[in-house]
Structure formats: C-alpha cells, structure tokens
Structure 1
Amino acid sequence: MARSLVDLLITHAAEHPDRTAYRFLVTGDSDGEVQDISYGRLADRARAIASWLQDRGLTGSRAMLLYPPGLEFIAGYLGCLAAGVVAVPGVPPRGRSHNHRALTRMRRLMADADATVILGGREVIDALGTMDQHLPEPAEVTRVATEDIPDDLSADWREPTLDADTVAFLQYTSGSTSAPRGVMVTHGNLLDNERIITQRMGHTSDAVAAHGGELFVSWLPVYHDMGLIGPVLNTVYLGATSTLFSPLHFLQQPGRWLDAVSRYRPHTSGAPNFAYELSLRHATPAFVDGLHLGDWQVAFNGAEPVRAATLRRFADTFAPAGFRREALYPCYGLAEATLMVTGGSPGAGPVLLDADGPHAGAADAAAVGTGRPGPGLTVVIADPETHEELPDGEVGEIRVGGASVAKGYWRNALATRETFRAGVAGRDGRLLRTGDLGFLRDGELFVTGRIKDLIVVDGRNHYPQDLELSAETAHPALRPGCTAAFSVDAGVEGEQAVLVAETAPDAAAEADKITDVVRRAIGDTHGLAVRQVVLVRPGTIPKTSSGKIQRHACRAAYLDGTLSPIGVPAAG
C-alpha cells in the first residue's frame, strides 16, 4: 500500500516510464510551444532534487518553493516529498516590479515557516538577489535553481521514513489582515483527499481510459490548494496526463481555457465562478462555433460563491459547442481539509434550491448545492455559539471531520485548538470549524457565506455575496467577481453597508450614473440603502490566491482612504 504520493510516482515511472505526466502550454495557446515531462523523467528529477536536499542534511526542514508557472515546480514539490522535506509553496517574485505587499507576505511566510532553503527557477533565484533587503539574511537561507541540480544525483536518493502523520507541506491560507497560518497537510491527508477527489469526480480507470488518459486542463495557480491538490496531484495519484498553463495567460485571454479543453478533451477542468463569467464575456459566436466541449465530463466550480445565473448562462452559451448542463459541478472545500469536502455526482448536474424547493430550472437567485461529503468525511451544521447541531434547512457553521482534515496550524497551538478541535453537542470526536455558513438539505450542502462577513443592518442579516451579485448584474461596467460588500460603523446611524466595485477607468465619466443604478438594484432587491458605492480601478480589490474577495482588507482600505476611487463616489 502506498505511503505517499512519492510511492505512486515511482510505481507509475516503473510501469509507464514514457507516458506523459504533464504538458505545459508555454504561451497559453494550444497551438503554441508545448513542454512535457514523462513519468520516468519526473521521477528521476524528483529523486535528484531529493538527493541534493538530503546531502545537505535538510530532511525535516522547510523549503520555500518559488517558481514561475511551469513544470519545474512539480519536480521541486515532489523532490521535497521524496526527501522528507516540508514543502512551502509561495508566490514567486516578479523582479523589481513585485509589489511591496507581495514581498511582505513572502517574507512573513519564510519567517513563519522557518524556511532554511529556497527552491526556484533560475530567473526567480536571480531576482531574489535584487530583493535581499526584503528577505532573511542570505547566509541563513540557501537558494538553488533546481534546473541546475544534476540528474545523476538521482542514483544517490535514499528513501525517507514517512508515515501517514508526517507533514508533507504547509499550505498557507490567504489573508492580508492577519498573521499567516500554515496548514500542516500530512502524507495521510493527501492520500485521503486524492481518494475523495477520485471517487467524487468519477476518475475511475475506465473513465480516464475513455479520455485517452487525459485527466485535467488547468490554469489554476499551483501554489494554491485548488490548483495543486486537484489538477497536479490527482494526476500523479492516478498516473494520468494533464495539461497546464499560466494563470496570467488565462487572464490575458480567457478563451485559452476552453480552447485547451476543446483541443485536449480532458475528463475534468474547472475554476472559481469568476473564471466562468470571464469566459462568457469573451464568448463570441465565432469562438463558440470553433469549440468541441462534448467530452467535458466535470466542470468543477468552487473556491468562491457559485452563482446560479453563471451556471445557466454558461450552459446555454456553450451548448452549441456540445457542452452539457450535466457537466456543471459545484463543489466545496478548504485548505484546512486538504481540499475537497463536498461534490456532486458526475453527470447529475447542479442542484438548485429556491423558495419553492429543489427544481431543475435555472432561477438566477436560486441557492446552489455543492454536493455531498466525500466518502469518509462528516459534515455537520452547528450553531457557532452553542455548538449544538442544527436540523436540515437551518443555517449554521459548517464543520468537518475525517482523515482529510489537516493536522493543524504550523506552530500555532491556540489557533489549532480553536479551529481544529471543535466539539458538537451529542457527537463524539473533534471537528474542523470552517468559519463558513451553510445548511444541509437531503444530504446536499448549500454554502451561504462567511460568519465574519455577515452584514447586519437594522436587525436584518445580509450576505455580502448576494449584494455583490445584485451590483454586478445591475450594470455591465462592473467586473465579474470583483466587488466587495461590507459594513461600517456609522455612529448614531449604526451599521451601514458599503459597496466597492472594480470597473474600467474609462467609466469615470459615468460614475454617478453607475452608482445610482447599483444603489437602486440593491434597494429594490434587498430593501437595503447603501451608504456608499465606490468605483475603483481593476486590480484594486484585495483577493486571495484562489480569487476570493478579501472583504476585511477592502474594508480596511476604505476606512484608511487608500482605495483611489474612479470619479467621485456618491455618498448616502
């Protein structure tokens, strides 16, 4: 029985050394330059990197991984696992243009993890030389471009002592207003969650074989849990083939995603909801006419609120290309549970719920089900204050138990106890407090928001994502997935809602008109008067590495007066 993903990698390399493990689209274009790596080559590179780490006595230490998008990250990550070194994926710097906030975060992560070595690509390692003032002293941290580690070191690799409880890597949760928290993901956590992903997404040997071994197409960042645990590691778990490209290339031309799906015909591909919206905005009739999406079995949608309107429009728009509504696959997960917690049944389509109950229609305001717990996982809805389990249909905190739940937070016993050791009245064992709100209906999980993001005005609860959706659909100038709603203390007036939305700079001339439209839409739909609507430039609103809006950070910027609004925002 495999003890780690390294065991599986070596097995695949022995049985199918020439099989392509990953291909990387260098320019993001399916007809452009392609780099690929076989299982035999990947195993050799992982063992060579592992041997280099072992020779320097680094087993048990932490290694910061700073790679640009590409295949070298995968070899470096698996090399850490093969050496018994704890990998710490990070966002790579981009030379002198790397912004101060990103550098500060990188330094915090390195310090918190107590990293003793940095693995990266040549350009990244060279760039770090211009940033020494932002990093720990060079003498304290070894830096190496893993491309320069010779292949022949592979022969010197020594199999490390690993068990299910050995920490494989630290997945740092995103957050700009609090100290970084590194989730300790063990080798046992990884294997269990890969099992769940495989079962929940229907990655059977027959299904993969029917797609010629093509498992994923993904542009998701590999330093984040959804891009790493899903497309990258489920591929090596199963010995399949996946196609990757850079997130930047997707953002530059969203059509590249569906073009790659059309060309390589994978079983599974997906992204957060905003990516589906971006794809829709660039879906010209000519583009749709050139696609072949009939083989796409699982179009997963997670990491941020899943919109019923997005699902409907995506299915309708790409139906002429063969896309089936049944392929839509809302799901739910978080880093503290390794990745996947709930997902639907492949081919069943999304479950929508409105005031009249479940239906097969496409009401834009319907709640979207995120599926059922993976086998071996327990999901409980509890009152966050009394810790009592709530019945079906009642909203409370989502709590999770099972072998995929991580070990805790790195060197943070207090946060570990608060988050990973929650009890529920009448139930044995400990559960993970997710901080997410939701409810269960006939076993299906519906996620409604975050506990700390809830907006309470005049005694009424408002979920920020509902306000954000109403704003984004009210006027086309607002960018999808780039709106933040939060509340502020207005003194004698009490809590008041504020909405910040990204829009194109050329919308400044119509700022007043846009804000009026947004105000009316929120007032009509939610019966809520917005204190202020602030329009800002693209890229202004803070987001996590997976694309989630950081509402608390946006609120802090609003209160500090550092948002730099477009035009003059209208005050209420």
Structure 2
Amino acid sequence: MARSLVDVLTTHASQRPDRIAYRYLVTGDSDGETADISYARLARRSRAVAAWLQDRGLAGSRAMLLYPPGLEFISGYLGCLSAGVIAVPGVPPRGRAQNHRALTRMKRLIADADAKVILGGREVVAALADMARHLPELVDVTCVVTEDIPDDAADSWTEPDLTADSVAFLQYTSGSTSAPKGVAVTHGNLLDNERVITERMGHTPDTIEEYDGELLLSWLPTYHDMGLIGPVLNTVYLGVTATLFSPLHFLQRPDRWLTAISRYRPHTSGGPNFAYELCLKHATPELVDALDLSSWKVAFNGAEPVRAATLRRFTGTFAPAGFRREAFYPCYGLAEATVMVTGGSVDAAPVLLDADGSGPHSGATDAAAIGCGRPGPGMTVAVADPEQHVELPEGEVGEIWVSGASVAKGYWRNALATRQTFRATLAGHEGRFLRTGDLGFLRDGELFVTGRLKDLMVVDGRNHYPQDLELAAEMSHPALRPGCTAAFSVDAGVEGELPVLVAEVSADAADETEKITDLVRAAIGEAHGLPVHDVVLVHPGTIPKTSSGKIQRRASRAAYLDGTLSPVGAPAPR
C-alpha cells in the first residue's frame, strides 16, 4: 500500500514509463508549442532534485518553491516530497515590477517557514538576486535553479522514511490578515484527499479507459491548493495525463481554455465562478461554432460563491457546442482540509434552492442557494452554532465544521491558532472538528455555503451577506467587473453600521462614475432595503484578492479606512 505520492510516482514510472504525465501549452494556444514529460522522466527529474536536497542535509527542512508557470514546478514539488523536505509553494516574484505587498508577503513566508532553500526557475532566481537588498531574509537562504541539476544526480537518491503523519508541504493561506498561516498538510492528508477527489469526480478505472487517460485540463495556478491538489496531484495519483497552461494566458484570452478542452477532450476541468464569467464575456458566435465541449463531464466551480445566473447563462451560451447543464459541478473545500470537502454527483444537475432554503429554484435569477454537493467518503460535515458548539438542525445556517483524514495537522508552528481552528468538539460526535469560518446549511445531505462568518454584516439587527450586496451592485451596470466588488460595513456614526461598496470598473467608464454610483445605491436599496454609506469605484486589478481570486473584504475595508484605495479619476497605482 502506498505511503505517499512518492510511492505512487515510483509505481507509475515502472508500469507506464512512456505515458505522458503532463502536457504544457507553452503559449496557451492548443495549436502552439507544447512541452511534455513522461512518468519515467518525471520520476528521474524529481529524484535528481531530491538527491540534490539530500546531499546537502536538507531532509526535514523547508524549501520554498518559486516557479513561473510550467512543468519545472512539478518536478521541484515532487522532488521535495521525494527527499523528505517540506515544500512551501509560493507566488513567484516579478522582478522590479514586484509590488510592496507581494514582497512583504514573501518575507513573512520565508521567515515563518524558516525556509533554508529556494527552488525556482532561472529567471526567478535572477529576479531574487536583483531584489536581495529588499529581502535581507535571503542572506542565509540558498537559491537554486532546478533546471541546472543534472539527471545523473538521481543516481544517488535514497528513498525517504515517510509515514502518513510526515508533513509533505505547507499551504499558506492567503487571507487578509497580516500574518499568513501555513497549513501543515501531511502525506496521509494528501493521499486521502486524492481518494476523495477521485471518488467525488468519478475518476473511475472505466472513465480513465474511456478517455484513454486524457482526464484533466487546467490553467489554475499550481502554487494554490485548487490547482495543485486537484489537476496536478490527482494526475500523478491516478497515472493519467493532464494538459496545463498558464493562468496569465487564460486571463489574456479566456477562449484558450475552451479551445483546449475542445482539442484535448478532458473529462474534468474547472475554476472559480469568475472564470466562467470571463468566458461568457469573450464568447462570440464564431467561437461557439468552433467548439466541441461534449466530452466535458465535470466542470467544477469552487473557491468563491457559485452564481446561479452564471450557470444558466454559460449553459445557454455553450449548449450549441455540446456543453450540458449536468456538467456543472459546484464544490466546496479549503486548504485546512487539504482541499476538497464536498462535491456534486457526476451527470446530475446542480441543486438550486430559494435563498431562504426552500425550493427547488428555477435558476432563472440569481436569488438561489446552490448546493456544493455531499461530503467525500470518510468525511463528516456538520453545521454548528459557532458560540454554543452544538449541532444545528437541518436547514439552519451556522458555521461549517469538518472532520476526516483529509483535515490537515494544523498550522505550522502556531499552537494557538491550531487549537482554535482544528480542535473543536461537537456533542454527539467523536473526535475533533475543523472550524472552517464559513457559513452554510445542510439539506438532504447537500451542503449549501452562504458566506463567511467574519464577513457577515449586521445592520439594524439584520444579517446581510456581503456576496449578496456585491452581486446586486455588479448587476446594476455593465461597466462593473464581475467578481471584483467588495462589500463591508463601517461605523457611520449616529446612523450605526452601514455598508460600503468598493467596485472595480472598466477603464472606459471614467465619464460615468456618478451614474454608476447612483445605480449601485439604488440596486442595494431596492434589493436589500439598505442605505449605502459610500460607493468607491476603483481601477481594474486594485481590489485585494487571495491567490485563488477570492475578494479580501477585510483588506479592502482597511484600505478604505486608510485612504489607500485607487479611485477612478485619481492616477492608477504604479
């Protein structure tokens, strides 16, 4: 029985050495240059990196991974696992263009993980040398270009002594707090969550055979849990083939995603809700006519609120290309549970309820709660009163709690936060629970996620979810960018707590700011009966987001109170 993904990779390299593990679209175009790596080659490159780390006595230490999009990250990551080194995926620097916030985050990660070595590509390591004066933390850290490690180094590799409880990597949460926390994910957690993903997404032996091993396609960043644990590691777990390309290439031209699906015909591919909205924004009759999306069985949608209107519009737009409503696959997960917690049923349409939990809902409008599926095998999901720590009845909204073998060990070297988040107990249940900080309810075993506990706004004694206000604002004018609005409350003096909306608008909307502001206020007033304290329209790309694209509302609120936003009409930030 495999103890880790290292054992799994060894098996695949022996049994199917010539099968392509990963295919990379270098330009993002399906008809452009590709690079690929077989299982035999992947195992040898991973062992070469591992041997380099072992030869320097780094087993048990932390290695930060800073790679541009491409296949080298995978060899570096699996090399760490093969050496018994704890991998720490990070966002690669962008040379002189690196902003202050990203530099500050990198410093904190290096310090918190106590990283002894940085693995990266040639350009990344050069950029780090250029930034050394801003990063004194790099003085005692060895930087290595893993491409320069020769294949022959693999000959000195020795198999590490790994157990299910050995920490495999640290997934740093990208929340809006000043101190990111590293989730300590063990080898046992990884294997269990790959089992959950496999079962929930229908990656059965029959499916693998039907698709001739061409199972997954992804543009998601590999340094983030959704892109790493899902498409990348489920590929090596199953011994199949994945097609990958850069997130930047997707953002530049969202049609590349759909074109790649049409070309390589995978079973599973997905992303956050905004990705489907981007595809809709760039859809043309010519594109739809050129696509064949009939092979796409699992179009997973997670990491941010799933919108019923998005599902309806995407299905309507791309049905002529063979896309089926049943392919949409809302799911829920978080880094603290490795990644996946719940997922839908393959070939079943998403479950929609009215916003109050009744239903079903037609999906004609977005006033619906969308089911994120059922827990994976061996996982328990409960909805608890966050204050009383008791389980709530079905249909009642509370904090989502999770237990199971996929739940991580805790936060790296943070006993207090680990105790608060990972050690909750619930009457009537054995063992410990992970407190997710997310709000939701259960109905007939299906999980419905409604918001974040700390983002909840209470105005005049009523609870309001910021996602609902953000959606109402975004639908009020086409210049407002989907998924780029932050709602939060502030102390408005004698009026009490009132909402503020910060929204990104397209660059050509500068002459309509007053009209857009009035429409946002009217939309919030009509839909929620709330006066709005302030509406701030900002330049594209300036609202703080996590690495997975989630809005950082607390960071947005702090920037609003500090006066550090970039309102339209003021110079764009450099």
**CA separation in 2, counterparts of 1:100 and 1:475?**
32
Structure 2 Cα separation of the partners of residues 505 and 327 of structure 1: 34
The yes-or-no answer on 1:519 pairing with 2:521 is yes
Q: Report matched runs for 1:109-148 at 5 Å.
A: 109-148=109-148
Q: Which residue of 2 aligns with 1:412?
A: 414
Partner of 2:245: 245
Match of 1:13 in 2: 13
* C-alpha deviation, 1:365, in angstroms: 1.1
Distance (whole Å) between structure 1 residues aligned to residue 176 and residue 149 of structure 2: 35
Shift of 1:377: 0.2
- The yes-or-no answer on 1:159 pairing with 2:123 is no
Cα distance in 2 for partners of 1:138, 1:392 equals 52
Answering whether residue 304 of structure 2 is matched by residue 313 of structure 1, we say no
Partner of 1:73: 73
Q: Is the 8 A contact 1:509 1:567 kept in 2?
A: no
Aligned to 1:336: 336
Measured in 1, the distance between the counterparts of 2:183 and 2:386 equals 22
Q: How far 1:153 sits from its partner (Å)?
A: 1.0
Aligned equivalent of 2:184: 184
Q: 2:450 maps to which residue? A: 448
Mean Cα displacement is larger for which, 235-244 or 417-426?
A: 417-426
- Aligned to 1:357, the other structure's residue is in SS state coil
SS of structure 2 residue aligned to 1:143: strand
Q: What SS is found at the alignment partner of 1:104?
A: helix
The equivalent residue for 2:432 is: 430
Distance 2:176 2:324 in 1: 39
2:175 alignment partner in structure 1 = 175
Deviation at 1:136, TM superposition (A): 3.7
Distance in 1, Cα, partners of 2:138 & 2:480 = 45
Q: Is the 8 A contact 2:176 2:553 kept in 1?
A: no
State the Cα deviation string for residues 67-114 of structure 1 (Å, max 9, x = none): 000000000000000000000000000111111111110111000000
SS at match of 1:474: coil
Q: CA deviation at 1:169?
A: 0.1
Which residue of 1 is the match for residue 534 of structure 2?
532
1:27-75, CA deviations, whole angstroms, 9 ceiling, x for partnerless residues? 1111111010000000000001000000000000000000000000000
Q: Is the CA contact (8 Å cut-off) linking 1:351 and 1:360 kept in structure 2?
A: no
Question: Which has the higher mean CA deviation after the structures are superposed, 280-289 or 185-194?
Answer: 280-289
1:56 alignment counterpart: 56
**Partner in structure 2 of residue 393 of structure 1:** 395
* Deviation of the 1:177 alpha carbon: 2.8
Q: Contact 1:3/1:188 (CA < 8 Å) preserved in 2?
A: yes
Q: Deviations over 1:354-373 (max 9, x none)?
A: 15422565442111000000
Shift of 1:529: 1.1
Residue 111 of structure 2 contacts residue 137 of structure 2 at CA under 8 Å; is this kept in 1?
no
Supply the distance in 1 between the matched residues of 2:505 and 2:29 (Cα, whole angstroms).
27
Partner of 2:24: 24
Give 1:533 shift: 1.0
State whether structure 2 residue 111 is matched by structure 1 residue 104. no
Which residue of the partner structure matches residue 376 of structure 2?
374
Pick closer, same or farther for the CA change 1:424–1:137 going to 2, 3 Å: closer
8 A contact 1:118–1:144 mirrored in 2: yes
In the alignment, is residue 543 of structure 1 matched against residue 545 of structure 2? Answer: yes
Structure 2 match to 1:294 = 294
Shift of 1:137: 4.9
Deviation at 1:564, TM superposition (A): 2.0
Q: Is residue 194 of structure 1 aligned with residue 194 of structure 2?
A: yes
Taking structure 1 as the reference length, what is the TM-score of the superposition? 0.98
Shift of 1:387: 0.6
What is the rounded CA distance, in whole Å, between the counterparts of 1:283 and 1:36 in structure 2? 29
Aligned to 1:259: 259
User: Are the aligned partners of 1:69 and 1:246 in contact in 2 as well (CA < 8 Å)?
Assistant: yes
Higher mean Cα deviation, 232-241 or 453-462? 453-462
Residues 50 and 157, structure 2, Cα contact 8 Å, conserved in 1: yes
**Which residue of the partner structure matches residue 224 of structure 2?**
224
Conserved? CA contact 1:198–1:204, under 8 Å: yes
Distance 1:366 1:138 in 2: 49
What is the rounded CA distance, in whole Å, between the counterparts of 1:325 and 1:414 in structure 2?
44
The answer as to whether partners of 1:107 and 1:134 remain within 8 angstroms in 2 is: no
The CA RMSD over aligned residues, in Å, is: 1.0
Structure 2 letter corresponding to 1:341: V
Separation in 1, partners of 2:285, 2:145: 45
Distance 2:569 2:95 in 1: 32
TM-score normalised over the length of structure 2: 0.98
Deviations 1:298-332 (A, max 9, x none): 00000000000101111111000000000000000
Unaligned regions of 5+ residues in structure 2, if any?
none
Q: CA deviation at 1:163?
A: 0.4
Which amino acid in 1 is paired with 2:131?
Answer: M
Tell me the distance in 1 between the aligned counterparts of 2:153 and 2:415. 38
CA contact (8 A) 2:308 2:363 kept: no
Secondary structure of 2:475's partner?
helix
Q: Partners of 1:218 and 1:125 in 2: how far apart?
A: 26
2:80 is paired with a residue whose SS is helix
**Alpha-carbon distance change, 564 to 137 in structure 1, aligned in 2, over 3 angstroms:** closer
One-letter identity of the residue aligned with 2:371: G
Matching residue's letter, 2:230: G
Match of 2:482 in 1: 480
Q: Is the 8 A contact 2:62 2:85 kept in 1?
A: yes
| 2-structure distance, mates of 1:455, 1:254 | 34
Aligned counterparts of 1:405 and 1:476: Cα–Cα separation in 2: 41
Q: Deviations over 1:231-285 (max 9, x none)?
A: 0000000000001111111111111111111110000000000111011000111
1:384 pairs with 2:386: yes
Match of 2:509 in 1: 507
Mark the CA change 1:506 to 1:164 in structure 2 (over 3 Å): closer, same or farther.
same
- Measured in 2, the distance between the counterparts of 1:135 and 1:96 equals 13
Give the Å deviation of 1:566.
1.1
Relative distance call for 1:138 and 1:105 in structure 2 (3 A) is: closer
Name the SS of the counterpart of 1:430 in structure 2. coil
* Alpha-carbon distance between aligned partners in 2 of 1:241 and 1:482, rounded to the nearest angstrom: 34
| Alpha carbons of structure 1 residues 420 and 263: separation in structure 2 relative to 1, 3 Å | same
Per-residue deviation, residues 149-183 of structure 1 (Å, max 9, x unmatched): 01011111100000000000000000243211000
SS of the residue aligned with 1:165?
Answer: coil
Question: Counterpart amino acid of 1:154?
Answer: A
Aligned equivalents of 1:194 and 1:498: distance in 2? 40
> 1:140 is paired with a residue of what secondary structure?
coil
The one-letter amino acid paired with 2:380 is: T
- Taking the TM superposition and a 5 Å limit, the aligned residue runs for 1:204-215 are 204-215=204-215
Deviations, residues 342-389 of structure 1 (Å, cap 9, x unaligned): 001100010000154225654421110000000000000000000110
Decide which moves more: 349-358 or 406-415: 349-358
Is the deviation greater in 424-433 or in 231-240? 424-433
Q: 1:288 aligns to what SS in structure 2?
A: helix
SS in 1 for 2:410: coil
Residue 274 of structure 1 corresponds to which residue in structure 2? Answer: 274
Q: Does the 8 Å CA contact 1:104/1:134 hold for their aligned counterparts?
A: no
The aligned counterpart of 2:565 is: 563
**What letter corresponds to residue 425 of structure 1 in structure 2?**
A
Offset, 1:17: 0.7
| Cα pair 2:350 2:371 within 8 Å, conserved | yes
Residue 27 of structure 2: SS of its match in structure 1?
coil
Cα offsets for 1:450-478 (capped at 9, x unmatched): 00101111111110000111111111000
